[in-house]
């Protein structure tokens, strides 16, 4: 079940959902609009390696905006810091963003119960498109969880994206090989 606007506000009063900064005019019927933060990043190397730490270069979006180019993969970040302690948050693009040919996530649209951070965006575009810090970029939708949660994300010892950051965070896939509970299946 997706939470309605009234339910989102109720959960915020209970402290199970936190959105900073929060502006009630950004609250939709069953979602909350999030905005593009001021920092973007690009991977340094042309070839990425899932077993290595792939470095990124971060830069700020200038006042006049920044033109995203097709064929490049950008990491962005939400302006909003969020906490979700009892629901599963989903980040989706807004229809207005999609109609500009902007994809805001490659595969990582779902958060976990206990996710407490800014959202890193995995941005690609179909045509050159100028974007601006603070523009609406996506929407958060909250789902009820059926049953108890054994371990919330913010209490996992192997949580790779738990350190609070208002800047984009590169892939931490390379950590999977050394973290408890993270396995790489051996080739047969």
Catalogue the active-site residues. Answer: 122
Question: SS3 letters for the chain?
Answer: CECCHHHHHHHHHHCCEEEECCCHHHECCCCEEEEECCEEEEECCCCCCCCCCCCEEEEECCCCCEEECCCCCEEEEEEEEEEECCEEEEEEECHHHHCCCEECCCCCCECCCCCEEEEEEEEEECCCEEECCCCEEEEEEEEECCCCCCCCHHHCCCCCCCCCCCCCCCCCHHHHHCCCCCCCCCCC
């Amino acid at each position: 079940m997706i939470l309605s606007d009234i339910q989102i506000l109720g959960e915020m009063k209970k402290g199970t959902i936190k959105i900073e900064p929060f502006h009630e005019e950004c609250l939709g019927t069953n979602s909350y609009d999030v905005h593009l933060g001021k920092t973007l990043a690009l991977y340094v190397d042309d070839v990425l390696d899932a077993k290595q730490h792939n470095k990124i270069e971060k830069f700020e979006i200038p006042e006049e905006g920044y033109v995203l180019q097709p064929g490049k993969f950008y990491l962005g970040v939400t302006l909003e810091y969020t906490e979700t302690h009892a629901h599963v948050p989903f980040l989706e693009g807004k229809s207005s963003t999609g109609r500009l040919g902007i994809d805001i996530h490659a595969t990582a649209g779902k958060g976990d119960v206990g996710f407490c951070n800014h959202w890193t965006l995995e941005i690609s575009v179909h045509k050159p498109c100028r974007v601006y810090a603070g523009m609406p970029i996506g929407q958060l939708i909250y789902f009820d969880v059926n049953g108890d949660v054994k371990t919330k994300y913010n209490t996992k010892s192997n949580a790779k994206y738990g350190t609070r950051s208002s800047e984009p965070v590169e892939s931490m896939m390379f950590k999977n090989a050394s973290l408890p509970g993270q396995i790489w299946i051996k080739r047969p």
